[in-house]
């Protein structure tokens, strides 16, 4: 497996692979790879001839008070995990390779899907996501791109972006990977203390309660170390609010602060 840090070099590698009749899988990440990322890489490696993992902490999707400076970074560990999972290339560009002049004046905005939930709490976040994903799609060329359902709203945004801008990319959603106690794997779990880690299971417990018709908010309120940001029942395609979960397919989405760490999770629900 090779590690590349220049756009032209990655384009050359992937264009060469396609010229040989090989298929390309793309796994965009911000590093701090864990078993959830591993599952994406393994699926790409199983379905595609060449898998490239991108490792780039995208500054465009962090707000002024968010954790860009402290976001976990360990390229050596990321490269080792990617290699073990079956990746062929790691693309780990420095910020000045992706954005030579700093934040670009050209950005990508996906209306509608981005206006509630994470979009309401983190203004500008999805414009940052959409802009860097569009750039990665343009660099990678025709491929299958693998994203986790844990960031469900992001997955829908990326699918809409690819469809509306006619990128030759098949966006593949992959199931959330969880710890045995239900906590969704996330790079930000590393911020949790031992007590906070135990408390963090409240997100999944709340989703389970919501799937059974109970109150997600009440479950979170009962956990002293948790503070609810939002708990919503939404249409799984449009994210429009739904009144209930029993009569329609739905997606339950939740965000909560556990101490100083903000976590998100979601769960699909089918009619009884």
Q: Taking Cα atoms as reference points, which of 130, 136, 128 lies closest to residue 60? A: 128
Q: E strands along 65-137, which residues?
A: 89-91
Spans of all domains in the chain: 2-174, 187-265
CATH of 2-174, one of 3.40.50.2300, 3.40.50.620, 3.40.50.720, 3.40.1410.10: 3.40.50.620
Q: How many CA atoms lie within 13 A of 45 on its CB side?
A: 16
Residue pair 225/258 in contact by the 8 Å Cβ criterion:
yes
pLDDT value for 174:
98
How far apart are alpha carbons 127 and 47 in whole angstroms? 30
pLDDT value for 231:
97
Is the model's pLDDT at 245 over the cut of 70? no
Please give the positions annotated as active site. 37
Q: Which residue has the tokens 């290339």?
A: 89
Please classify residue 3 by burial: count the beta carbons closer than 10 Å to its beta carbon, then call 0-12 exposed, 13-18 middle and 19+ buried.
middle
Q: How many CA atoms lie within 13 A of 233 on its CB side?
A: 23
Provide, rounded to the nearest whole percent, the portion of the chain with pLDDT above 90. Answer: 91
Residue 267, sorted as left (phi over 0), alpha (psi -120 to 50) or beta, turns out to be beta
Give CA angle at 6 (5, 11), nearest 5°: 120
pLDDT in tens, 159-213: 999 999 999 999 999 999 999 999 999 999 999 999 999 999 999 999 999 999 9
Question: Do β-strands 261-269 and 169-174 pair in parallel, antiparallel, or remain unpaired?
Answer: unpaired
Please classify residue 229 by burial: count the beta carbons closer than 10 Å to its beta carbon, then call 0-12 exposed, 13-18 middle and 19+ buried.
middle
Residue pair 130/110 in contact by the 8 Å Cβ criterion:
yes
Is the model's pLDDT at 144 over the cut of 70? yes
Write out the two tokens for 162: 């690819």
Q: How many CA atoms lie within 13 A of 39 on its CB side?
A: 15
- pTM here is 0.95
Q: Which architecture, in CATH terms, is 187-265?
A: 2-Layer Sandwich (3.30)
DSSP state for residue 178 in the 8-state scheme:
B
Q: Pick the residue with more confidence: 136 or 64?
A: 136
DSSP state for residue 184 in the 8-state scheme:
B
Question: Do β-strands 169-174 and 143-148 pair in parallel, antiparallel, or remain unpaired?
Answer: parallel
Question: Do β-strands 50-55 and 169-174 pair in parallel, antiparallel, or remain unpaired?
Answer: unpaired
Residue pair 183/203 in contact by the 8 Å Cβ criterion:
yes
How far apart are alpha carbons 227 and 115 in whole angstroms? 22
> Is the fold of 2-174 the same as that of 187-265?
no
**Spacing of C-alpha 75 from chain mean position:** 18
pLDDT value for 246:
66
pLDDT value for 68:
86
pLDDT in tens, 54-92: 999 999 999 887 888 888 899 999 999 999 999 999 999
How far apart are alpha carbons 50 and 16 in whole angstroms? 11
Least confident of 26-30, 256-260, 267-271: 267-271
């Amino acid at each position: 497996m090779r590690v590349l840090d220049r756009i032209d070099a990655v384009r050359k590698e992937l264009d060469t692979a396609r010229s040989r009749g090989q298929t390309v899988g793309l796994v965009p990440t911000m590093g701090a790879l864990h078993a959830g990322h591993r599952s994406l890489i393994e699926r790409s490696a199983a379905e595609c001839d060449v898998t490239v993992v991108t490792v780039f902490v995208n500054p465009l999707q962090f707000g002024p008070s968010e954790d860009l400076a402290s976001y976990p970074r360990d390229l050596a560990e990321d490269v080792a995990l990617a290699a073990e999972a079956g990746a062929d290339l790691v693309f780990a560009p420095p910020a000045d390779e992706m954005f030579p002049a700093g934040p670009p004046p050209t950005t990508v905005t996906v209306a509608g899907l981005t206006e509630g939930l994470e979009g309401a709490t983190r203004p500008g976040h999805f414009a940052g996501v959409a802009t860097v994903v569009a750039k990665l799609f343009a660099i990678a060329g025709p491929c299958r791109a693998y994203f986790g359902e844990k960031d469900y709203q992001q997955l829908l945004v990326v699918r809409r972006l690819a469809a509306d801008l006619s990128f030759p990319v098949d966006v593949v959603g992959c199931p959330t990977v969880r710890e045995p106690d239900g906590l969704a794997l996330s790079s930000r779990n590393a911020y949790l203390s031992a007590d906070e880690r135990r408390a963090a299971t409240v997100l999944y417990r709340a989703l389970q309660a919501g799937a059974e018709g109970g109150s997600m908010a009440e479950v979170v309120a009962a956990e002293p170390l948790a503070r609810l940001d939002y708990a919503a029942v939404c249409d799984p395609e449009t994210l429009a609010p739904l009144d209930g979960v029993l009569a329609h397919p739905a997606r339950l989405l939740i965000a909560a602060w556990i101490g100083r760490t903000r976590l998100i999770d979601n769960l699909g629900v089918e009619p009884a």
